[in-house]
Structure 1
Amino acid sequence: MEQEDPRTRILDAAEELFYGQGVQAVGMDAVRAASGMTMRRVYQHFPSKGDLVEAYLRRRDGRWRASLALYVSRAGGSPREQLLAVFDWLGEWFAEPGFRGCAFVNALGELGAASPGVVAAARHHKTEFNAYLAGLAEAAGAPPATAVHLSLLAEGAITSAAVHGDPTAAADAQEAARLLLDAAVPAR
């Protein structure tokens, strides 16, 4: 059996620990232990904890957005139904046992301006998510401002679900999105 790539093992361990416990609460030794790598090997791949945090966030961004896009594309239906499916996906994510909110907001809250790389990763993630929603909203015939409003609904649902531990925030946001779309795209 082929062994998993050391970089992947380190990133897997870092993701589980950073997302589950927080970036500042986890030291490099914990990542080393969880990955089964030597400290030398960890630092060969990631010369600093900052490098590891940024790599974790970049990888998480790609996986998160790909999972969302796949779910929405499989939901099928009209562009409006696909846009509303975003909130179904969020609801499933919120219901996962290890859900702790948005990894990017969490990391930004912990490290803030002290880490320009984390700021850049968080901005990139949010910009790409907003652009994805904008594409769906445009396909549904909604004006551009509607995408901004939908993004705020989604972000609010993520925060609410994390704070309250209640996955129904996605359904509530979906209902608000439905009302917003009804107002933005009158029936023909």
Structure 2
Amino acid sequence: MSSKPVGAVESQCSSTPDSAEPNKCKPTRVRDRIFSSARELFSRHGLRGVGVDAIACDAGTNKMSFYRNFASKDELVAECLRESEREFWQWWDELTGPFEGQPRKQIETLFDAFVTKVCNDEDRTRGCALANAIVEIPDVDHPGRIVTVEFKARIRARFVQWTRELRARDPEVLADSLFLLMDGSYLSRLAFGDSGPIRHAGHAARALMDQHCAGRDCTG
């Protein structure tokens, strides 16, 4: 991935020494400042829209310091995505953990909270970082894409586990339907805002489960 892609956010400073006073809202350690700046800039402008110079400038450091802390922009992208994944699973587990053994309640709770989370996240200007990475990184060997593909596979696996516990008519079809509903909701929010289709995601999840459990002894 080029450090200065077409349409990239350009740096507004030249070589800034590490001793320069960082933004008061940023961490003090150089590596942490670079990481924090990268996540913020990637969220606002996309992975391909931000170059190494812009990240270093925003972090109050320079390009040389950037490469002392990260082997490449690609590796930094992967690390940012891993942190987004960690935060996502923490959120997921805190929501669904109290309802262990109640798959339907877990799914309902997840989708209701998902709608609230996505609609209330004013800083998420480009949607889900992990979902966007699939579109922005076509190279299957890119470390960032590998992180994202594995993340998506884990989400699907969790839905499959739940739908099997639910004893749905066709667990994998239901799991894939729930997966597509969640993924598609991110894009619909960007296209239509909070008043668009995303507001019905929780109702849609319930309807899918009702359909797949009709006439069956589904628990949870």
Bin for the TM-score computed over the shorter chain:
0.7 to 0.9
Q: Which residue of 2 aligns with 1:24?
A: 48
TM-score, structure 1 normalization: 0.84
Asked whether the 8 Å contact 2:115–2:202 carries over to 1, the reply is no
**What one-letter code is carried by the residue in structure 2 that aligns with 1:97?**
E
Tell me, in whole angstroms, the C-alpha distance in 1 between the residues paired with 2:199 and 2:87. 23
Distance change in 2, residues 1:20/1:43 (3 Å): same
1:106 counterpart (132, 147, 165):
132
After superposition, where does 1:81-160 map in structure 2 within 5 Å? Answer: 81-95=105-119, 96-99=121-124, 100-113=126-139, 116-142=142-168, 143-160=171-188
Distance change in 2, residues 1:89/1:154 (3 Å): same
Tell me, in whole angstroms, the C-alpha distance in 1 between the residues paired with 2:132 and 2:83. 16
Asked whether the 8 Å contact 2:48–2:136 carries over to 1, the reply is yes
Asked whether the 8 Å contact 1:88–1:171 carries over to 2, the reply is no
**What one-letter code is carried by the residue in structure 2 that aligns with 1:69?**
D
Tell me, in whole angstroms, the C-alpha distance in 2 between the residues paired with 1:36 and 1:139. 51
**What one-letter code is carried by the residue in structure 2 that aligns with 1:139?**
E
Alignment of 1:66 with 2:78, yes or no, is: no
Asked whether the 8 Å contact 2:103–2:165 carries over to 1, the reply is yes
TM-score, structure 2 normalization: 0.73
Aligned length: 186
More helix, by proportion? 1
Task: Extract unaligned runs of 5+ from structure 1.
Answer: none
Distance change in 2, residues 1:64/1:138 (3 Å): same
Residue identity over aligned pairs, in percent, reads 28
CA RMSD of aligned residues (A): 2.5
Q: Which residue of 2 aligns with 1:163?
A: 191
Dislocated runs of 4+, deviation >6 Å: none
Tell me, in whole angstroms, the C-alpha distance in 1 between the residues paired with 2:212 and 2:134. 33
The one-character-per-residue Cα deviations of 1:42-65 (angstroms, maximum 9, x if unpaired) are 211212111111111122112112
User: Which of these two proteins has the greater Rg computed from alpha carbons?
Assistant: 2
Tell me, in whole angstroms, the C-alpha distance in 1 between the residues paired with 2:149 and 2:158. 14
The one-character-per-residue Cα deviations of 1:3-40 (angstroms, maximum 9, x if unpaired) are 75543332221111101111122121222233234433
